[in-house]
Amino acid sequence: SLIIFANIIARFPEAATSIGMLVRNGRISMVIILMMFAVMIAVIAFIVLLTYGQRRISIRKGKQQVGRRMMQAGGTSYLPLKINTAGVIPIIFASSLMIFPSTIFQIVGPILPEGMSIWMESFISQYWVPGNSIYIFFEFFLILFFCYFYTAVVFNPKDIAENLQKNGVAIPGYKQGAKTEEYLDSILTRITLAGAVMLALVAILPQIFIRVTGLPFMVSQFLGGTSLIIVVGVALDTVNQIENHLRVRNYEGFRAGSTGSSRRRRF
């Protein structure tokens, strides 16, 4: 992931050069550039929210018999359900399917009747290209579909409900078993819809900029899309790994509010 991160970041100087050329040619103004930076910062904050956002469901362990008494086992804890369970996988699947018509045409185009071949070539070149409204609509729909598909594969409310019941854990207000399963399924459906829409909006944002402002993809890719999601995701993951490593190694000096006497290093 760090290699992909470095590869994307390495394109930034080229994007900055493209912006400079556009300014010199008078195609965009400094106001547009400032707006682009504001949008990029807002999208980064949006991606952080999408990455860390979760719905916490209260769960409580049932009573256990201790000797001759029934004691409440522990307090209330939480079952976290992420808003975006699938990550960038729906975007990858959707992008792969979006190039499928062009690939098929390259294979079957030469053997089709001339009229049909010309029509298909014209349709693909005019409408099935990034930035076109039809292309954006279908990619948006495919991302929504694959978000639900992937979440349904990796997260089964029935299995979660059974595991909670086996461990004597219940959701307050809902009976163990079928009622818990229905509740988890309804919650998961709603948060998956929110996460899927947010992910799809970030994914198609560069195409919207291409269509509205005419910016080249080299520039617009840093305003959203898979590239920015990967950069932010890898950066957050790297920071978390460093924090965990420091916590394990107990480097007190790197922690906020630490005093000089508490700083020690273990080898």
pLDDT, block means (10 residues), the chain with 267 residues: 81 83 80 84 90 88 55 68 88 88 82 82 83 89 94 89 86 86 91 92 87 78 82 86 80 51 42
Determine the Cα–Cα distance for residues 39 and 31; give it in Å rounded to an integer: 12
Instruction: List, for residues 226-236, the tens digit of each pLDDT value.
Output: 888 888 888 88
Main-chain dihedrals φ then ψ at residue 80, nearest 5 degrees: -80, 130
Residue 139 · residue 99 · CB < 8 Å: no
Question: Residue 237 falls within a domain, yes or no?
Answer: yes
Q: How far is CA 76 from CA 34, 47, 160, 175, 245, in A?
A: 47, 30, 17, 16, 29
- Note the Cα 67 to chain centre separation in Å: 49
User: What's the number of CA atoms in the CB half-sphere (13 Å) around residue 31?
Assistant: 1
Q: How many domains, in total, are found in the chain?
A: 1
Whether the predicted model's global pTM rises above the 0.85 cut: no
Question: Residue 204 falls within a domain, yes or no?
Answer: yes
Residue 150, domain extent: 2-262
Determine the Cα–Cα distance for residues 139 and 144; give it in Å rounded to an integer: 9
Q: Give me the DSSP letters along 113-128.
A: -HHHHHHHHHHHHHTS
Instruction: List, for residues 2-58, the tens digit of each pLDDT value.
Output: 788 888 888 888 888 888 888 888 777 788 888 888 888 999 998 998 888 888 888
Determine the Cα–Cα distance for residues 256 and 253; give it in Å rounded to an integer: 8
Question: Residue 267 falls within a domain, yes or no?
Answer: no
Residue 230 · residue 8 · CB < 8 Å: yes
Question: Residue 45 falls within a domain, yes or no?
Answer: yes
Main-chain dihedrals φ then ψ at residue 98, nearest 5 degrees: -70, -25
Question: Residue 97 falls within a domain, yes or no?
Answer: yes
Sign of CA dihedral 215, 216, 222, 224: positive
Determine the Cα–Cα distance for residues 156 and 3; give it in Å rounded to an integer: 33
Sign of CA dihedral 24, 25, 30, 33: negative
Determine the Cα–Cα distance for residues 131 and 138; give it in Å rounded to an integer: 12
Question: Residue 140 falls within a domain, yes or no?
Answer: yes
The pLDDT, as a whole number, for residue 68 is 54
Question: Residue 69 falls within a domain, yes or no?
Answer: yes
Look up the CATH number of the domain holding residue 24.
1.10.3370.10
The pLDDT, as a whole number, for residue 144 is 94
